[in-house]
Structure 1
Amino acid sequence: MPAGLVISAPASGVGKTTLTLALARAWRNRGLNVQCFKSGPDYIDPAFHAAATGRASVNVDSWAMDRATISHLVGRGADADVVLAEGSMGLFDGVAARGVSGTGATADIAEMLGWPVLLVIDPSGQAQTAAAIAAGLRDYRPGVRLAGVVLNRVASPRHEDLVRRALDDAGIAVFGALPRHAEINLPKRHLGLVQAEEQAEIGKLIDEAARFVAEHVDLDAVLRSAAGWSPQPAANGLNVTPPGQRIALARDAAFSFVYPHMLEAWRAAGADISTFSPLADEAPDASADVCWLPGGYPELHAGKIAANARFRSGLRAFAETRPVHGECGGYMVLGTALTDADGVCHEMAGLLGLETSFAKRRMHLGYRLAELAAPMPGHRAGARLRGHEFHYSTILAQPDTPLAVVHDATGAVIAETGSRRGNATGTFFHLIAEDR
């Protein structure tokens, strides 16, 4: 029977990802099969999980997914020895309005699955107050059970002793304390962590993190704190219709943000996916019946994309007879022009009239609920699609017919409606699920 555990914290930036990867690799090094998940919409961390465990990781999200979908996804951990769900933000942080099965908070997943929470606490600038924070998190929601804590970035043995004593007085187990050790920090970039496939040294970083954590954390005690878990078979699988039978998927350093569970669902439904690289000046497979451009970092490669005539002409030819869809960065590339951070304007594919700019960065972040005004690949007009938007681009022009009425998590209508023209469609959000 697998043992399940949720890794969370009071806030972002405390060390959840590093601890998750370290525990996963340390237990794997002991011969255990470890399955990871990511609670929430972050689409970068699952690739790091896969690098640590050798098993594919997927997102589980209580705002966008119903319980049947979540049960189906976590069922892949049935043959594992230990299952780790890495949280997002703070333990109870989500949106104000409830979504399909919750607010998107990590606590929703912990309560839904019955897995206890291992808290990562950074007591920098604190001592006994760290225990008050942990106790508050323990007692905030009755259905969420605390396993214990791991202290991160402890300043000194004296500092550790003060915090440990306070936590012991509060009845909270301390599984270990990590002194400051900058070398195991994962590298950052302008949208957060670099992707696993971009980081050649990721294996060495994870090995170092595992060694370091094994020296300072009682791995056996953490494992004992996890809850025995018998996965319940979901009545239905994922509610996903592939955008086509044969899908040409852009896949390289500029087009890499796509949820793993979406690709798996397409394949499970019988679709065949062929990848091509716009950065290598490749055109979509001429035998495909739909082309999908996911998000990524087109702004970092805009000059090369603009110069790759074979890719752009091939994409245009494809769109004359078959549907092409772009998400976020892919949507921008389907547009007319993209201005990079240096203010240089680059010509894009021109299948849509969208013009975007990174010259003046403005963050767009949050859940999105889109009601389609017209069909897009895989989804009928009127469908309600749930997704997540995260980019720093500014819309200079969005002249085409709106694809959808798009709301944020509060229900407010937003300007990023997506576009449609001919066989081309695009959205700024990354699709997570369709409402059943």
Structure 2
Amino acid sequence: MSATDATSTVHAHRSALIHSLGDPAKLGIENSYQYFDDGLLVIEDGRIAAVGEAEKLLPGLPAAAQVTEHKDSLLCPGFIDTHIHYPQTGMIAAYGEQLLDWLNNYTFPTEQHFQDKEHAAGVADIFLTELLRNGTTTALVFGTVHPESVDAFFEAAEQRDLRMIAGKVMMDRNAPDYLTDTPESSYKESKALIERWHGKGRLHYAVTPRFAPTSTGEQLAVAGQLLGEYPDLYMHTHLSENKKEIEWVKELFPERSGYLDVYDHYELLGERSVLAHGVHLSDCECERLAETDSAIAFCPTSNLFLGSGLFNLPKMEAHNIKVGLGTDVGAGTSFSILQTLNEAYKLMQLQQEKLNPFKSLYLATLGGAQALKLDDKIGNFSIGKEADFVVLDYNATPLMSYRMAQAKELEERLFVLMTLGDDRTISETFAMGRSVHQR
């Protein structure tokens, strides 16, 4: 169908549609999603106005509504990346190291250049373009220690009207002089960035101590102070990624009972706290994460790439811990959430566990939104939510097209998308109902 009035605020997209209703581990597979083989997604003023069977909804559309058909495609909510480093875009696929050496040899020298705002702006543009090419519409993002890096990122995200979360890294020890701040400067600079950006449009600020080894107790206390002053801020850091890292934390904080207890002591845990990795967590730490309603970002590609270990998703489910999916670029090797799910499936197989495609859908969309405390705004096609969504092409590659022809069930089609899919599978990405990427 073609539009009769280009000024209409009602736009509808007709295609197969799927969205997650909740965690399959809690609801059961059959109750965890909603699917329409011939569906209609109705958008008004950038928000979801209706979703359902096309034949039922089409007659009720305004005469001037625009309707776009997406053939041989599947529409789903925009992907949500709960842990990624935009300054590391230029060092993705850096060879040969595990975490601590990788930071010293690759990460820190790369991040040095982000004191130059023009450089940061150029990388932010490339980074956001890659996210949208891969169907990611929301991300929780590390900047660098430089305020300029955060200003550049937020300016680029605001221009695209994207829901993004980011923060300035806080790092006052165990890093090169050119990348360290102080407790006082990190407080002052973070506070200025919060005042400038937090809650502006679709943007949010995250207090961002890199990880316990690069912050003194004084700086972590300052991070907790900021969270107390602005209760709706996010807290974003790393936790228990690598065994040598964990031993280092014990040496640096001998008075604390473990890695998580360092953050807990400085009041950094809470409903908007997202800790990346959590590969090596004790039962006591899992219990405390659940008690504080903190979330873990599951980053399979980087955990495999850096040889960090295998994330225990069933253990997190048993403890009722919120889990989102993270690409963790640049240790992660792809911006694609689909490719990240491919690696997550394999990682689970190594533990004699299965990752069901409907669980993968949940992790990539609504689960990420819940981990970020944004499920009132994004994550599925509930009425009133922001219309961030992607169009997945069943015929993106010759192999996928051939494989899809053999698929008999929805579960199988989803699994093919999540195993063979990558940026080529994303034919279009929408933010607030507006096209922000076309393949």
Q: Scaled by the length of structure 2, what TM-score is found?
A: 0.28
Q: Scaled by the length of structure 1, what TM-score is found?
A: 0.29
Identify which of structures 1 and 2 has the higher relative contact order when contacts are C-alpha pairs closer than 8 Å and 6+ apart: 2
